[in-house]
Amino acid sequence: MSSNKPVKSPVIIDLKFQRESVVKALRNAFAGREVIDMADPANADRDLGTAAYAVVWKPDPALFEKAKGLKAIFSGGAGVDHILTTYELPDLPIVRFVDRSLTDRMSEWVVLQCLSHLRQTLTYAHQQRDHIWHELPGQPEACDVTVGVMGLGVLGQDSVAKLKVMGFNVVGWSRRPKQIAGVETYDAHGLDAFLGRTDILVGLLPLTDETRGVYDRSLFSKLNRHGALGGPVFLNAGRGGSQVEADLVSCLEDGTLKAASVDVFEQEPLAPESRLWDMHNVIITPHAAASSEVSALFRHVDSQIARFEDGLPLQNVVDRLTGY
C-alpha cells in the first residue's frame, strides 16, 4: 500500500569539518529525508536539482550552480563570512547556527582567557618551567578590571553575563544601541569612550566589510593604559580578518598591548613562521574557541526545516545587507 505522505525534499551536506564527526552525526540525523553527502565520491556527479536545503561550511563553489532548487542555506557555524565573501550566492535565506553548546563553549573560552590574564597564568607557567617559587605581588581582583566586549550578539551577550558572574566590570559595544542590565553599552558612535574604559578587549564581531581590519594599532592605542593589569589585553575569537596582524605583533612588542589571546587569524592555519607563536605574552588556540557540535547542528537544521515546511519563518536569518 502506498503512503500519501509527501516525499521530503533531500538535504545536501557540504561541510569541510572533521570527517568522522560528520559521518557519525549523520547516522541519526534527518529521519525520513534523503541526505546527499558531498564528501561521498558516489555523489560527485549527482543531480542536485531536487534538493531544497543545503548545510554548508566552506562548500564547493560549484554547489550553488548545480543545486538550482534550493530554498534555504544553513551555515555550519555561527559566522557566515565563509560563504558571503567567497561565493555568488542565490537570493535565498541563509540561516546561522545558533545553539546552546556553541554559545556555552565560546563563553568558557572568553571567561578562561580573562581569568588567565587576570591571574597571570603565563608568568606562573614560565616560573614553573624554571622551578621558581615566587608569588607575584599586587594580584588584582576581577572587580578591579573592566572587560569591554565588542559585539553584543548571541555570543557577546552570553559572555557578558558569565563575565559578570566572575565579578568583572563589563562594558559592551555594538552597531545599534543595546540595553543590558548592569552593563554600560556603547553604540557605533561611542567607540572611543568604550575603548578608553576597557582593560581587556574581547572581540566577538562577525567579519563584514565594516569590521575587516578594525583591530589595528589606532584602536589598540585607545585602550585604557592605567588599569589594574598594567596594560591593555586583547582577545579575539570573532574572525581573524578583523585584526591587522602586523599591528597586533608590533603592539605586543612595544607595550601598546600587554598581552593577547587569539583564536582566529588572518590566514588559518597560522603560518609556522608567525612571530605570534613565540611571544611570551600571547596565548594561541587554533580556531577552537567554539566549534560546532555536528549533531546539534543537524538537530538545529532539522527543526528549522520543520518550521519552514509548516509555513513558519526561519530563525537567525542573515541580513545580506549588513553581512551578518
Ligand X SMILES: NC(=O)c1ccc[n+]([C@@H]2O[C@H](COP(=O)([O-])OP(=O)(O)OC[C@H]3O[C@@H](n4cnc5c(N)ncnc54)[C@H](OP(=O)(O)O)[C@@H]3O)[C@@H](O)[C@H]2O)c1
Contacting residues toward ligand X, per CB under 6 A: 77-79, 102, 106, 151-156, 174-176, 188, 204-208, 210-211, 237-239, 263-264, 287, 289-290, 324
Catalytic residue among 287, 299, 307, 320: 287
Least CB distance to ligand X at residue 298 (A): 17
Residue 126 a catalytic site member: no
Residue with cell 555561527: 78
CB of 237 to ligand X, least distance (A): 4
28 exposure class (CB count in 10 Å sphere: 0-12, 13-18, 19+): exposed
Q: Which is nearer to ligand X, 12 or 204 (CB)?
A: 204
Three-state DSSP class for 30? Answer: coil
Output the smallest distance, CB 67 to ligand X, in A: 24
DSSP annotation string for 206-251: PP-TTTTT-BSHHHHTTS-SSSTTSS-EEEE-S-GGGB-HHHHHHH
77 three-state secondary structure: coil
Q: Which is nearer to ligand X, 229 or 243 (CB)?
A: 243
Taking CB positions, which residue lies at the least distance from ligand X?
A: 153
Q: How far is the CB of 4 from ligand X (least distance, A)?
A: 40
Our CB check for ligand X shows the closer of 224 and 242 to be 242
Q: Is 239 a catalytic residue?
A: yes
Dist. CA 58–CA 16, nearest whole Å: 6
C-beta neighbour count of 323 within 10 angstroms: 17
Angle, CA of 61, 97 and 200, to the nearest 5°:
110
Residue 57: which of 37, 40, 80 has the closest Cα? 80
Residue 140 or 213: which CB sits closer to ligand X? Answer: 213
Among the options 239, 275, 300, 307, which is catalytic? Answer: 239
Query: What is the set of active-site residues?
Result: 239, 287
